[in-house]
């Protein structure tokens, strides 16, 4: 079967109406946005569907947009159907004050460490995860270091600030 | 403390279970990571891995660097085949900025990447030999790896952390010394590699030690996110070079070797055959090396020649803008993957138009497949567990990001 962005989108819409909040194509790759309540049903559907055969979780990672109130944190799933040679990604966003997402380890075992890494760096709590603890950082670290509020540079330095990287020094906004 | 609680629920067999710390700095693990093993005599009942001893915060660092400075970070992922990481990163940025690389540069990259793959597989396979007690092959094959590193030196000046190539192509054309070294390597290596092959491939002791050690089935391997030689040894013929060809891999004739049982011996054989296939690719690419430029015309990203910087105003401006990171970048998200030494090495780059990535995530094959290790060694002997680890080619640098 030849799988295309349109076919995949139609298949998901038909099976699970209304779960796709928005979709776009970025450099040819279909990007869907859904909610954390719907992510596991979508993953299960695309994995088990006899035509789609999305058999592989390529990658799972967190992302932090501090200037999106109520949907600051996100998790991005890259999925792949090896038989159809097709890739796409799914995103979910949620509030940083309520970073709870159901685990994908029930669908793919590979999600185990990827979710631990996402927890470690972004503080996303995956409910149902068998062993959710830090993986790369030390156990007693009390921050989630990939969140944008943790600056890489020493805050007292004045010779390197965000303006040198095309962004406003205070809010991290792009310079126009 | 956490480890104790993890094991406290286990049934004991004869009441004399031993907790054994394999690592963090054990010579047989070939890297800084720890396995806490629950042993009944010499049999492993359970294990718990700890990684992160060399965590270097690459993803955080990448959010504060212009694109060209991130290349040096990728060096340090799988440091046995840095050029593949470098090229993968360049191609990710090229995809984002929409840059077409000339055919000559693509073929040059293929030659470099396949040399890196040979070096990577040589280390892995000879170390499997070392862990079964056969040191000889290792000492001889390291001389071959040395020849490959000398070629890298000709192309980029470095050996291990290569920082090879540039966004848009290669930093310099192949030098006469490189041509000479590559020709002599292509001529001499197959015979010497056959010697190594004859030492191990049909060696009774080696086969007894490796057949059936640390097996994993194809379906299970896919569940665990395996890619690369480890997945192919389990019988799944997935290779990024074929499924999503980059750098003109579609021009070359090569096969994807697969195994059946997914055990240590199959992983060894798959890597052996991949070395031969890599040689075939290099020969084809070198024989048909196109004439032309070795880099694309992307003045916004590719540094001008140094003499021009001193004499021409335009070159000076571009040089300054690149070095100071004052180049506007398109907004967008790209995922690009290459077939690394250990499997699919992916780069997920989110650009918001700033001069450094808004988010960069590395898909490191080692990190993902190493989580299957406890399952693969459960119930086996400690000595088999060591072999299983070296045959999975777990590189500490690639566990981290």
pLDDT digits (tens, 9 = 90+) for A2-21: 889 999 999 999 999 999 99
Q: Do A164 and B353 touch (CB under 8 A)?
A: no
B226 to chain A: closest CA residue: A110
Cβ neighbour number for residue B287 with a 10 Å cutoff: 9
Which CATH homologous superfamily contains domain B59-399?
Cytochrome-c3 Hydrogenase, chain B (1.10.645.10)
Contact B277, B249 (CB under 8 A): no
Burial of B190 per CB tally in 10 Å (0-12, 13-18, 19+) = middle
The whole-number pLDDT of residue B3 equals 45
Q: Worst-scoring range by mean pLDDT, B10-24, B115-129, B314-328?
A: B10-24
Question: How high does pLDDT run on average in chain B?
Answer: 92
In this structure, the answer to whether residues A165 and A135 fall within a common structural domain is no
Q: Are residues A116 and A33 in the same domain?
A: yes
- Where residue B2 falls among pLDDT bands split at 50, 70, 90? very low
- Residues from chain B contacting residue A121 (CB–CB below 8 Å): 59
Task: Using the predicted structure, report yes or no on whether residue B216 has a pLDDT greater than 60.
Answer: yes
Strand order in the sheet with A86-94: A22-26, A29-34, A86-94, A73-81, A56-64
Q: Are residues A20 and A68 in the same domain?
A: yes
Q: Which residue among B222, B238, B348 sits closest to A78, beta carbon to beta carbon?
A: B348
Using CA coordinates, name the residue in chain B closest to A65. Answer: B358
Contact criterion met (CB < 8 Å) for A82 and B63: no
**Mean pLDDT within A115-136:** 96
Inter-chain contact B238–A82, Cβ cutoff 8 Å? yes
Yes or no, beta carbons of B238 and A59 under 8 Å apart: no
pLDDT digits (tens, 9 = 90+) for B158-208: 999 999 999 999 999 999 999 999 999 999 999 999 999 999 999 999 999
pLDDT in tens, A65-86: 999 999 999 999 999 999 999 9
Of B325, B367, B371, the CB nearest to A164: B325
pLDDT value at B6 more than 60: no
Global ipTM? 0.93
Q: CB-based contact (8 Å) between A23 and chain B?
A: no
| Confidence check: pLDDT of A57 > 50 | yes
Look up residue A151 and give its two tokens: 């600056």
Per-residue DSSP letter, A165: G
Cβ of B60 and A152 within 8 Å? Answer: yes
Residue B269: alpha-carbon gap to chain centroid:
18
Residue A81 sits in a domain whose CATH number is: 3.30.460.80
Select from B361, B362, B396, B398 the residue whose CB has the most chain A CBs within 10 Å, as the one to mutate to test that interface: B361
Q: Nearest-CA residue of chain B relative to A85?
A: B243
Cβ distance A166 to B353 less than 8 Å, yes or no, reads: yes
Query: Is A115 within 8 Å of chain B by CB?
Result: no
pLDDT of B4 > 50? The answer is no
- pTM exceeds 0.90 for this model: yes
Domain check: are A73 and A45 in the same one? yes
- What would the two tokens of residue B296 be? 């694309």
The closest alpha carbon to B345, from B353, B335, B354, B355, belongs to B335
Asked whether the predicted pLDDT for residue A165 surpasses 70, the reply is no
Residues of B in contact with A105 (CB under 8 A): none
Residues from chain B that touch A137, judged by Cβ atoms under 8 A, are: 52, 55
pLDDT of B279 higher than 90: yes
Provide the residue range defining the domain that includes A60.
5-141
A55 touches chain B (CB under 8 A): yes
Does A48 share its domain with A127? yes
Q: What is the pLDDT of residues B100-123, one digit of tens each?
A: 999 999 999 999 999 999 999 999
Which residues on neighbouring strands pair with residue A86, listed in sequence order?
A81
pLDDT of residue A170: 52
- Total domains, chain A: 2
Cβ neighbours of residue B371 under 8 Å, at least 6 residues apart?
Answer: A109, A110, A112, A113, B49, B224
As a dihedral over the C-alpha atoms of residue B145, residue B149, residue B155, residue B158, rounded to 10 degrees, the angle is 160
Q: Who among B95, B236, B352 is closest to A174 (CB)?
A: B352
Q: Domains of chain B: which residue ranges?
A: 2-50, 59-399
Query: What is the sign, positive or negative, of the torsion defined by CA atoms of B76, B80, B83, B85?
Result: negative
In the structure, what pLDDT confidence band is assigned to residue B323 with cuts at 50, 70 and 90? confident
> Residues A176, A128: one domain?
no
Cβ–Cβ below 8 Å for A26 and B57: no
Alpha carbon of B311: minimum distance to chain A alpha carbons (Å)? 27
Out of B64, B334, B346, the one facing A27 most closely (by C-beta) is: B334
More confident residue, B328 or B266: B266
Count each helix (H run) and each strand (E run) in chain A, helices first. 3, 7
Arithmetic mean of pLDDT, B334-350: 96
In the predicted structure, residue A175 carries a pLDDT above the cut 70: no
A51 with A118, same domain? yes
> Does the distance separating the beta carbons of B356 and A110 come in below 8 Å?
no
Q: Do A121 and B59 touch (CB under 8 A)?
A: yes
A and B: number of Cβ contacts within 8 A: 111
What is the distance in angstroms between the Cα of A150 and the nearest Cα belonging to chain B? 10
Interface with A, mutate which of B242, B335, B347, B358 (most A CBs under 10 A): B335
Q: Whole-angstrom Cα distance, residue A80 to residue A57?
A: 6
Helices B382-392 and B264-287 meet at what angle, rounded to 10?
20
- pLDDT > 70 fraction of chain B, expressed in percent and rounded: 96
Per-residue pLDDT at A104 exceeds 90: yes
Chain B residue nearest residue A31, CA to CA: B333
Query: Are A134 and A165 in a shared domain?
Result: no
Host H or E run for residue B104: helix B103-131
Alpha-carbon distance of A18 to A8, in angstroms, equals 14
Do A163 and A94 belong to one domain?
no
**How close, in Å, is residue A86 to chain B by CA atoms?**
9
Q: Tell me the pLDDT band of A171, cut-offs 50, 70 and 90.
A: low
Mark whether A115 and A158 lie in a shared domain: no
In terms of domains, do A79 and A112 share one? Answer: yes
pLDDT of A146 strictly over 60:
yes
Spatial separation of the C-alpha atoms in residues B146 and B46, rounded to whole Å: 39
Let me know whether A137 and A168 are in one domain: no
| Residue B129 exposure: Cα atoms within 13 Å on the Cβ side | 26
Residues of A in contact with B238 (CB under 8 A): 82
Closest CA to B239 of B372, B348, B340: B340
Please tell me which residue of chain B has the smallest CA distance to A131.
B6
């Amino acid at each position: 079967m030849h799988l295309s962005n349109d076919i995949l989108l139609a298949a998901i819409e038909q099976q699970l109406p209304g779960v796709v909040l928005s979709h776009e194509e970025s450099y040819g790759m279909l990007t869907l946005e859904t909610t954390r309540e719907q992510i596991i049903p979508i993953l299960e559907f695309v994995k088990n569907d006899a035509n789609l055969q999305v058999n592989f979780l390529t990658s799972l990672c967190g992302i932090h947009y501090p200037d999106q109130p109520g949907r600051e944190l996100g998790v991005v799933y890259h999925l792949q159907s090896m038989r159809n040679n097709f890739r796409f990604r799914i995103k979910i966003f949620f509030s940083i004050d309520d970073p709870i997402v159901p685990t994908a380890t029930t669908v793919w075992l590979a999600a185990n460490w990827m979710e631990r890494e996402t927890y470690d760096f972004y503080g996303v709590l995956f409910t149902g995860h068998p062993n959710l603890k830090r993986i790369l950082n030390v156990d007693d670290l009390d921050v989630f270091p990939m969140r944008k509020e943790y600056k890489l540079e020493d805050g007292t330095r004045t010779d390197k600030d965000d303006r040198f990287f095309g962004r406003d020094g205070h809010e991290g906004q792009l310079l126009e | 403390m956490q480890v104790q609680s993890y094991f406290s629920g286990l049934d004991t067999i004869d009441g004399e279970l031993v907790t054994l710390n394999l690592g963090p700095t054990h010579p047989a693990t070939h890297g800084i990571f720890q396995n806490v093993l629950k042993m009944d005599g010499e049999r492993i009942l359970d294990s718990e891995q700890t990684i992160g001893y060399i965590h270097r915060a690459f993803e955080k660092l990448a959010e504060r660097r212009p694109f060209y400075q991130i290349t040096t970070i990728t060096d340090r992922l799988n440091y046995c085949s840095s050029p593949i990481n470098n090229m993968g990163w360049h191609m990710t940025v090229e995809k984002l900025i929409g840059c077409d690389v000339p055919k000559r540069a693509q073929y040059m990259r293929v030659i470099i990447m396949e040399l890196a793959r040979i070096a990577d597989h040589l280390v892995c396979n000879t170390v499997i030999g070392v862990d079964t007690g056969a040191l000889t092959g290792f000492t001889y094959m390291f001389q071959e790896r040395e020849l490959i590193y000398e070629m890298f030196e000709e192309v980029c000046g470095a050996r291990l952390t290569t920082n090879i190539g540039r966004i848009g192509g290669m930093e310099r054309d192949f030098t006469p010394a490189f041509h000479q070294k590559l020709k002599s390597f292509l001529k001499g290596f197959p015979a010497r590699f056959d010697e190594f092959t004859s030492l191990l491939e049909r060696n009774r002791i080696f086969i007894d030690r490796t057949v059936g050690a640390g097996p994993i089935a194809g379906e299970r391997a896919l569940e665990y996110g395996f890619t690369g030689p480890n997945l192919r040894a389990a019988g799944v013929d997935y290779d990024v070079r074929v499924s999503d060809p980059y750098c003109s891999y579609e021009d070359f004739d090569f096969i994807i070797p697969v195994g059946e049982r997914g055990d240590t011996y199959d992983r060894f054989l798959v890597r052996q055959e991949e070395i031969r296939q890599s040689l075939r690719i290099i020969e084809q690419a070198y024989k048909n090396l196109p004439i032309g430029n070795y880099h694309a015309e992307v003045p916004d990203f590719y540094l001008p020649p140094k003499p021009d910087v001193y004499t021409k105003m335009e070159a000076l401006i571009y040089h300054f803008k690149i070095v100071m990171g004052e180049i506007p970048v398109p907004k967008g998200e790209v995922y690009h993957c290459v077939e690394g030494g250990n499997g699919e090495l992916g780069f997920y780059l989110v650009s918001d138009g700033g001069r450094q990535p808004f988010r960069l995530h590395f898909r490191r094959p080692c990190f993902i497949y190493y989580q299957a290790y406890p399952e693969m060694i459960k119930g086996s002997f400690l000595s088999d567990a060591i072999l299983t680890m070296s045959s999975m080619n777990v590189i500490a640098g690639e566990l981290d990001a």
